[in-house]
């Protein structure tokens, strides 16, 4: 173990938790070999793990944990074995064996969802806090684990069970011993409810390891964890739909794990900023022990949360999980049903459940119903000592929140689903040993003898889409004819999904893979086959096979049937709204455009407002004829101002598309070397067009461009479409003016003709050849500093002539109509 207390150390922090709990051999060795270092490194963790040990096992009967704030809690735990923090080492030593044992025990069951059962037995042993609680417990305990659905996330939505399965490998146990799953029975709804943010991902992961469930709908949550960046007002709406839920900030879960107990959620430090002063009535008789508290919590909460789906099995029942919206329940239900884990559980569960008023109108007050989970401790309870450790912990997190974390968990999501068929052989192989490298090495040889990684060797130039563009016709033709069309269709949806959840890189990866697939003359049926293609790795290859064999991807069904997802897509369609904003609005409870219109989010920008009000118009395709008409209009106006001005309709129009999303007009003039020379013209032009009522809104202006909206006046409309094609009103269109000096015309044409993929590809090719292509020109000898940061502009090689740029790059000329990638 490295002594330097640095990066690796901190990054490893969470894994350390794992190591501790599971105390894998690795961990053990480390411990044995270098106790000092190890201890130092895992100080906090050790302390907590120790405490839990004591609590759950030897000290089980120790009920008190009363209202000691976390701090006291901690203390108490410690005090039992050894009072002062200093004695930690001793504790650790003692605890180790236990930990190992329990870990071993847990591991064996880890893979079995039903492993919970032990808990049932365990619990009874504990003095029951109150009768009801016991009852509840017996009912609930069994259910929890299994196949709770985990949220769709960037890597896919796999049920925890699946996750667990995969997690077998690493040294770090992915699930903590049942006895330590302090979050069991806790269903968490995160806001935002995704694991895109690295830190949240970590939290979610940890929560799951400790038995917590990640739920998709707030309706089935027992706890709502709100991003620290959000204020209460941001999430107010969402919370309204879930009364009786414990609402806490980001710090809560990890603290619970650290202290091995469900902490009092009402403490000040877990308050969501701006949260109304909830009258926390510290429950008079907290009495229960850590375990109990958990249950008592469920007891209380359960009835309330379930108003929508009363029958939903308690927290745990996985799939039945939730559907925030009643209507959608159908799909989800089916889904869950399939997973079929729940049955027995449900039965057990129901009685208690039904007894509780399903319909119970939520008492609106969330403050009240709060579950004084463990210890209704006092806010101030975050006593000094704890505070220290907490702050260490927090500091650590903050310090490294930006580090790219290993996403170890990602794994191959769906393999299991696709398994049933053919390539079972390989798959099983790979499953047994997920080592990606081995797999790759193995696979390739099979399908294609020899070349280990030669499989993907493709001519350099062929790797760039710009060398493979097609025409619109060829594209559409290949769309229907393409043997991979169905597969592409599904992948495209997945791609869209990732766009929605704001996973930029996965989105682009899918785009590339799709582009590759689209070009295949034959139908790709197997994983091996797909894997050989460029831009298609093991994972997408596996998905392709699944799609082909089952003609669907489970996760996709799941993802797209989610109402939230639909709202997300809706919001993203609003001009000026990107993923962060869309998610934020969603978190604030908005679901429809009407919601936004009715109560505009406080952070809505003018652009977004415009985008919202003209959402319908701006999302309507612009017929080619209309674009042409507008261009003609503008051209005429420009000619009046400056006869030498030239306007060209770019974008998809130039590529021959029958309709466009917006209108791109490139404004230029012979003899110009800089866009600045055209600014006066643009200003005049814009003013003139505004006067004519053509330009109706300005979105951005400055520099060498103008972005805004326009409409085709009635007169021109009639001229273009005739009186027979009436319209009630002009439709707003997005229009961009781009000032381009003659010297940059060629590069600008490329840039503004697209399509994106084609452009990116061209730029990428340029960079591989030591050049740089942007909208101004093609440069060479670009100096890049550390990690691609451009240091030198480089020498302009060509900017004026579009064809020349192609030539220099060694790319065969392609007409605009052939640049559909």
Partner DNA sequence: TTACAGCCCAA
Partner DNA sequence: TTGGGC
Partner DNA sequence: GTAA
Chain positions contacting DNA, by CB under 7 A: 154-156, 404, 406, 410, 413, 456, 463, 505-506, 508-510, 512-513, 533-541, 543, 574-582, 605-607, 611, 662, 664, 700-705, 707, 734, 736, 752, 756, 759-760, 763-764, 767, 772, 774, 787-788, 790
Determine the angle formed by the axes of helices 251-259 and 43-56, rounding to 10 degrees: 60
Residue 521 Cα to chain centre, angstroms: 34
Nearest residue (CB) to DNA, 9 versus 664 = 664
**Termini Cα distance of the chain:** 50
543 is catalytic: yes
Closest by alpha carbon to 775, among 807, 757, 799, 742?
799
> Shortest distance, CB of residue 286 to DNA, whole angstroms?
40
Residue 748 Cα to chain centre, angstroms: 35
The 10 Å Cβ neighbour count of residue 18 is: 25
> Shortest distance, CB of residue 772 to DNA, whole angstroms?
6
How far, in Å, CA of 177 to CA of 475, rounded?
55
Nearest residue (CB) to DNA, 81 versus 579 = 579
Determine the angle formed by the axes of helices 70-79 and 43-56, rounding to 10 degrees: 70
How far, in Å, CA of 348 to CA of 139, rounded?
6
> Shortest distance, CB of residue 234 to DNA, whole angstroms?
13
Nearest residue (CB) to DNA, 99 versus 689 = 689
Q: Which residues pair with 224 in a beta bridge?
A: 189, 247
The half-sphere exposure of 257 on its side-chain side, counting CA atoms within 13 A, is 27
Q: For 702, list phi and psi in degrees, rounded to 5.
A: 125, 160
How far, in Å, CA of 765 to CA of 773, rounded?
9
Beta strands in 650-790 (DSSP E): 659-660, 663-669, 695-702, 705-710, 733-739, 771-773, 778-780
Q: Is 132 helix (H, G, I), strand (E, B) or coil?
A: helix
Nearest residue (CB) to DNA, 277 versus 789 = 789
What is the residue whose two structure tokens read 């060498």?
Answer: 704
> Residues 733, 617: contact at Cβ < 8 Å?
yes
> Shortest distance, CB of residue 55 to DNA, whole angstroms?
35
170 DSSP assignment: S
> Shortest distance, CB of residue 661 to DNA, whole angstroms?
8
Nearest residue (CB) to DNA, 155 versus 525 = 155
Nearest residue (CB) to DNA, 335 versus 735 = 735
> Shortest distance, CB of residue 410 to DNA, whole angstroms?
6
Closest by alpha carbon to 542, among 618, 486, 491?
491
Nearest residue (CB) to DNA, 331 versus 408 = 408
Q: Which are the contacts of 252, defined by CB distance < 8 A and separation ≥ 6? A: 223, 225, 263, 265, 270
Nearest residue (CB) to DNA, 398 versus 700 = 700
> Shortest distance, CB of residue 340 to DNA, whole angstroms?
25
> Shortest distance, CB of residue 465 to DNA, whole angstroms?
10
> Shortest distance, CB of residue 599 to DNA, whole angstroms?
18
Helix runs in 642-755, H state only: 651-654, 679-691, 714-721, 745-753
How far, in Å, CA of 427 to CA of 443, rounded?
10
Nearest residue (CB) to DNA, 364 versus 435 = 435
Set 543, 705, 790, 812: catalytic member: 543
> Residues 306, 312: contact at Cβ < 8 Å?
yes
Helix runs in 315-381, H state only: 329-339, 343-355
Active site residues: 543
């Amino acid at each position: 173990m490295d002594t330097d207390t640095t990066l690796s150390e901190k990054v490893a922090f969470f894994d350390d938790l794992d190591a501790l709990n599971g105390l894998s051999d690795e961990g053990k060795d480390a411990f044995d070999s270098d106790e000092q270092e190890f201890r130092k490194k895992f100080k906090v963790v050790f302390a907590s793990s120790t405490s839990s040990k004591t609590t759950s096992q030897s000290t089980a009967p120790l009920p008190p944990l009363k209202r000691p704030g976390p701090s006291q809690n901690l203390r108490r735990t410690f005090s039992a074995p050894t009072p002062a923090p200093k004695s930690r080492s001793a504790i650790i030593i003692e605890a180790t064996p236990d930990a190992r044992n329990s870990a071993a025990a847990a591991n064996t069951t880890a893979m079995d969802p039903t492993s919970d059962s032990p808990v049932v037995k365990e619990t009874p042993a504990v003095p029951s806090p109150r009768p009801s609680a016991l009852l509840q417990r017996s009912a609930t305990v069994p259910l929890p684990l299994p196949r709770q659905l985990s949220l769709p996330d960037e890597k896919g939505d796999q049920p925890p069970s699946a996750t667990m399965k995969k997690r077998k490998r690493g040294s770090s146990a992915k699930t903590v011993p049942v006895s330590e799953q302090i979050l069991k029975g806790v269903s968490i709804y995160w806001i935002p409810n995704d694991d895109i943010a690295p830190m949240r991902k970590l939290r979610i992961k940890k929560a799951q390891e400790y038995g917590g469930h990640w739920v998709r709908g707030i309706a089935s949550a027992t706890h709502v964890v709100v991003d620290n960046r959000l204020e209460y007002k941001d999430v107010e709406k969402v919370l309204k739909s879930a009364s009786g839920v414990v609402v806490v900030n980001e710090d809560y879960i990890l603290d619970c794990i650290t202290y091995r107990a469900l902490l009092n959620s009402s403490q000040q430090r877990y308050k969501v900023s701006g949260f109304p002063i909830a009258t926390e009535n510290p429950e008079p008789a907290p009495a229960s022990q850590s375990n109990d508290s958990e249950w008592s919590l469920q007891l209380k909460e359960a009835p309330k949360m379930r108003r929508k789906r009363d029958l939903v099995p308690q927290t745990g029942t996985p799939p039945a999980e939730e559907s925030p919206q009643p209507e959608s329940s159908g799909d989800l239900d089916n889904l869950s049903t399939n997973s079929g884990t729940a049955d027995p559980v449900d039965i057990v569960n129901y009685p208690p459940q039904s007894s509780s008023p399903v319909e119970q109108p939520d008492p609106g007050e969330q403050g009240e119903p709060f579950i004084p989970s463990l210890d209704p401790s006092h806010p101030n309870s975050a006593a000094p000592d704890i505070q220290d450790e907490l702050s260490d912990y927090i500091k650590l997190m903050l310090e490294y929140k930006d580090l790219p974390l290993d996403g170890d968990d990602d794994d191959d999501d769906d393999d299991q689903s696709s398994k049933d068929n053919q390539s079972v052989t390989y798959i099983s192989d790979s499953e047994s040993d997920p080592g990606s490298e081995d797999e790759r090495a193995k696979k390739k040889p099979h399908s294609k003898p020899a070349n280990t990684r030669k499989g993907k060797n493709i001519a350099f130039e062929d790797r760039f889409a710009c060398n493979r563009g097609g025409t619109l016709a060829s594209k559409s033709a290949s769309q229907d004819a393409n043997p991979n069309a169905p597969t592409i269709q599904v992948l495209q949806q997945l791609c869209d999904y990732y766009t929605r959840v704001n996973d930029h890189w996965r989105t682009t990866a899918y785009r590339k893979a799709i582009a590759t697939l689209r070009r295949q003359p034959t139908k790709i049926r197997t994983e091996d086959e797909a894997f050989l293609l460029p831009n298609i790795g093991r994972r997408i290859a596996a998905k392709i096979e699944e799609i082909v064999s089952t003609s669907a991807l489970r996760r996709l069904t799941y993802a797209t049937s989610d109402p939230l997802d639909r709202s997300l897509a809706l919001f993203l369609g609003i001009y000026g709204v990107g993923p962060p904003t869309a998610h934020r609005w969603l978190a604030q409870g908005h679901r429809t455009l009407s919601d936004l219109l009715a109560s505009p989010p406080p952070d809505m920008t003018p652009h977004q407002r415009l985008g919202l009000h003209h959402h319908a118009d701006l999302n309507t395709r612009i017929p080619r004829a209309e674009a042409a008409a507008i261009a003609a209009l503008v051209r005429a106006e420009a000619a009046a101002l400056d006869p030498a001005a030239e306007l060209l309709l770019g974008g998809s129009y130039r590529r021959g598309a029958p309709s466009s999303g917006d209108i791109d007009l490139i404004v230029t003039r012979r003899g110009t070397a800089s866009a600045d020379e055209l600014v006066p013209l643009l200003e005049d032009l814009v003013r003139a067009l505004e006067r004519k009522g053509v330009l109706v809104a300005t979105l951005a202006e400055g520099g060498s461009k103008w972005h805004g909206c326009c409409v085709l006046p009635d007169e021109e409309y009639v001229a273009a479409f005739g009186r027979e094609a009436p319209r009630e009103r002009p439709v707003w269109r997005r229009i961009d003016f781009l000032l381009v000096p003659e010297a940059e015309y060629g590069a600008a044409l490329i840039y503004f003709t697209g399509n994106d993929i084609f452009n990116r590809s061209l730029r990428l090719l340029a960079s591989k050849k030591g050049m740089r292509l942007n909208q101004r020109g093609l440069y060479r000898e670009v100096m890049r500093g550390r990690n691609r940061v451009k240091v030198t502009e480089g020498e302009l090689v060509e900017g004026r002539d579009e064809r020349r740029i192609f030539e220099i790059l060694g790319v065969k000329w392609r007409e605009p109509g052939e640049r559909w990638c």
